[in-house]
Amino acid sequence: MIDFRNVTKTFGNDIIALNEVSFQVEPGEFLFITGPSGAGKTTVGRLLIREFAPTSGEITVGEYDLAKLTGRDIPFYRRQVGFVFQDFKLLPDRTVAENIELSLEILDKTSEEIREKVARVLELVNLSGKDNLFPSQLSGGEVQRTVIARAVAAEPPLIFADEPTGNLDAETGWQITELLEKINQRGTTVIMATHNQGIIGAAKKRVIKLEGGRVVVDTKEEKQEALRQSSGQARIKNQEKFEKEGEKEREENSEGDDREKKHEKEHKGKHHQKKKAVEVEKVE
C-alpha cells in the first residue's frame, strides 16, 4: 500500500509544490493523478522514487518509510518503483535492448537471464524485433514503449508514469494507456499522471485531481461517500419498511384478537342458551 499522510513539499521559501496531501493507493490499483501544469503531479512521482524527501508529513510504500530512508537504502528501495519519465531519459547511443538491460544489470542477473527478460518485455510492449534499433530510429510511440519496457523489466510492484501520452497523438496515446492497463492487470500498481481528460473519462479508473498542490477531487472518497449515503438511505428505507410491517402485524393481531373475542362471546351465548334449555326441560 502507498500512504501519503499530510505531505507537504516546498522548494525554497515561496514555492509550495504539495500542501497537506493525503491519499492511499491499494496494491494492484490503477490511479490517475491529474491537474493543471504546476499542480504537483510530477512532485508526487519524484517523492515516490525518493528523489527528495517530503518537507513534512509521512510517505510509506509497503514496508518503506520514505522519510527515514538512508542513502544506502534508497537504491534498494527504488527497485520497488518503475518510473516512466516524461522526457524519456533513454541513452541515445544505446540500442533499445541495451537501454532496458541497464535496469537489470544492478539485479545481479546473468547475461542469459537478462537477454530472456529483455525479449519478454519487448514482446509485452509490442516491440519484438526492435531490440537493435537506437532511440532516434523509433517513432514517438515506440520510444514511449521502450521507456515502459525499461520500467517494468525488473518487475517492480509499482509503476509511476509521468505524462506518458503528453507528446503523442491521440491514437498512440490510447495505445500507451491500454498497455499500462495491461500491465496493471498483471498485478502491478499503476499511477499515471496526465492532464488528458479524454483518456481519464474513458478509462473509468480512480482519479485524484490536484490544484495548487492540494487534493481537490478524489473519486474514491466520492464513491465511498455515495455508498455511505446509499447505505444510510437503505437503512432508513429498511427502518420504514420494518415499522410498516410491524404496524401491519399489530393491526392483524388486533383484528385477530377481536375475532377471537367475538367467537368467544358467541360461544358463551350459545352455551348459555343451551344451558337454559336444559334447565327448562328439567322443570317440565
Asked whether residue 31 falls in the same domain as residue 137, the answer is: yes
Q: Is the pLDDT of residue 165 over 80?
A: yes
Non-local (6+) Cβ contacts of 138 within 8 A are 96, 130, 146
Asked whether residue 151 falls in the same domain as residue 264, the answer is: no
CA distances from 3 to 7, 79, 104, 179, 271 (A): 10, 18, 27, 25, 82
Are the C-beta atoms of residues 164 and 180 closer than 8 Å to each other?
yes
Q: At CA 211, angle to CA 218 and CA 230, rounded to 5?
A: 20
pLDDT band at 280 (very low <50, low <70, confident <90, very high): very low
pLDDT digits (tens, 9 = 90+) for 258-268: 666 565 666 55
In sequence order, what are the beta bridge partners of 217?
209
Asked whether residue 38 falls in the same domain as residue 147, the answer is: yes
Note the Cα 147 to chain centre separation in Å.
23
- Overall domain count for the chain: 2
- The residue type of 126 is N
pLDDT digits (tens, 9 = 90+) for 118-164: 999 999 999 999 999 999 999 999 999 999 999 999 999 999 999 99
pTM of the model: 0.78
Phi and psi (nearest 5°) for 2?
-105, 130
Specify the DSSP class assigned to residue 94: S
Asked whether residue 231 falls in the same domain as residue 164, the answer is: no
Comparing 245 with 57, the larger pLDDT belongs to 57
Asked whether residue 254 falls in the same domain as residue 135, the answer is: no
Whole-number Å distance between alpha carbons of 3 and 36: 23
**Relative orientation angle of helices 111-124 and 140-152, to the nearest 10 degrees:** 130
pLDDT band at 105 (very low <50, low <70, confident <90, very high): confident
Whole-number Å distance between alpha carbons of 75 and 73: 6
pLDDT digits (tens, 9 = 90+) for 176-227: 999 999 999 999 999 999 999 999 999 999 999 999 999 999 999 876 666 5
The CATH number of the domain holding residue 199 is: 3.40.50.300
Structural domain including 227 reads 220-284
